[in-house]
Amino acid sequence: MSERLDLLTTREQHAYRLLVRMSGATAADLAEQDGLSAPEAAQVLESLHRKGLATGGPTFHALPADVALGDALLREQQALESARRMVASLSEEYRSNTRRRSAEHLVEIVVGAQPLRDRLREMQDSAEKEILWFCRANPIAMQGPENTEENSALERGVRYRAIYERELLEKPGELDSIVEAMGLGEQSRTLPALPVRLAIADHRLAICPLVPDAARGVGPPTAALIRPSELLDALVALFESYWDRATPLVPDGGTEEPDRLLLSLFVSGMPDKSIATQLGVSRRTVQRRLDRLMDIAGVDTRPGLAFQAARRGWL
């Protein structure tokens, strides 16, 4: 029963259907019904018998086709799946070795704000597990509120970890956009400064602008798309090292803990005036709320408040 179903000839398929309807037939019966010679009918019936679709003669009876050919079809499916895995493995090996041999497969250069924006969006749309961001002030391709792809990715379960330069938090609308993203699940932190702009998807692709800020305006923005390599591993390690020392940004949790965002901005080193502007309150209100937090922490200095916030896990 190693024959496949598609190896049944047209004559064999027709004879099997006749055999089913006749509820048993000899070679002579089949010859009469199918217009065959007796030797031809006998040959077809013997072939059906060998393939497990009919009992032996002289009177042949049809057997269930699914029983006769089910094992063969299962083996065929298993063989196809095995072949598919082999092709996938060989293709990945080819791509990996090609990338190692050719720098063009490791690093691709993208020129222009719109192409760079398109690649950032494609990267997020195709991400499956995690996006890592270094978000510097004065983005060159996409402002935070414009990044609608992040919301879609967060909603389908992609993890986002983003580190923002402190200056960026002071830009109009940026903090609101970050708080919205945190509400959807983004993990956000901040540092006074970041070394580069960087986006990494699933540890498989990084996008890193190449032109320093000092040279901006001289030509179109240029970025490198970096695929799996030691260079990509180094960029992931760079992100993790900065993530470990960055200050968490924590959204307010409601009436019971209304000052977590304020505390995040304070610990990050943002001035009272900037905190007030971002939170839409007066500078005096910021100072009063910080004084209340100092009373709760049992300290009388702001450095003491920052220490207690870390010690007590408030952020």
Q: Is the pLDDT of residue 222 over 90?
A: no
CATH of residue 272: 1.10.10.10
Average pLDDT score over residue span 125-148? 82
Quick one: 264 and 239 in the same domain?
no
Average pLDDT score over residue span 155-168? 92
Quick one: 126 and 240 in the same domain?
yes
CB 65 within 8 A of CB 16: yes
User: What band does 36 get if pLDDT is binned at 50, 70 and 90?
Assistant: confident
Quick one: 92 and 144 in the same domain?
no
pLDDT of residue 1: 37
Quick one: 123 and 223 in the same domain?
yes
CA dist 85 and 96 (Å) reads 16
Domain that holds residue 305: 260-311
Quick one: 143 and 35 in the same domain?
no
pLDDT of residue 2: 39
Quick one: 199 and 236 in the same domain?
yes
Is 254 domain-assigned?
A: no
Average pLDDT score over residue span 245-251? 87
Quick one: 240 and 289 in the same domain?
no
Quick one: 190 and 124 in the same domain?
yes
Q: Is the pLDDT of residue 117 over 50?
A: yes
Is 113 domain-assigned?
A: no
pLDDT of residue 163: 94
CA dist 303 and 267 (Å) reads 9
Quick one: 215 and 123 in the same domain?
yes
Percent of the chain residues topping a pLDDT of 70: 81
Is 252 domain-assigned?
A: no
Token pair of 265 as six digits: 């901005």
Is 108 domain-assigned?
A: no
pLDDT of residue 5: 43
CA angle 176, 181, 187 (to 5 degrees): 115
Which stretch of 83-87, 222-226, 246-250, 264-268 has the lowest confidence by average pLDDT? 83-87
Is 206 domain-assigned?
A: yes
Average pLDDT score over residue span 262-279? 87
Is 154 domain-assigned?
A: yes
More confident residue, 281 or 86: 281
Domain boundary among 101, 132, 167: 101
Quick one: 87 and 172 in the same domain?
no
Q: Is the pLDDT of residue 111 over 50?
A: yes
Quick one: 215 and 155 in the same domain?
yes
Q: Is the pLDDT of residue 213 over 80?
A: no
Is 42 domain-assigned?
A: yes
Quick one: 73 and 122 in the same domain?
no
Q: Is the pLDDT of residue 314 over 70?
A: yes
pTM of the model: 0.60
Q: What is the DSSP track for 207-245?
A: EEE-S-GGGTTSS--EEEEE-SSHHHHHHHHHHHHHHHH
Inter-CA distances, 127 with 119, 130, 184, Å: 12, 7, 16
pLDDT of residue 160: 94
Q: What would the pLDDT profile of 172-187 be if each residue is shown by its tens digit? A: 888 888 888 888 899 9
pLDDT of residue 221: 81
The domain total for the chain is 3
pLDDT of residue 255: 46
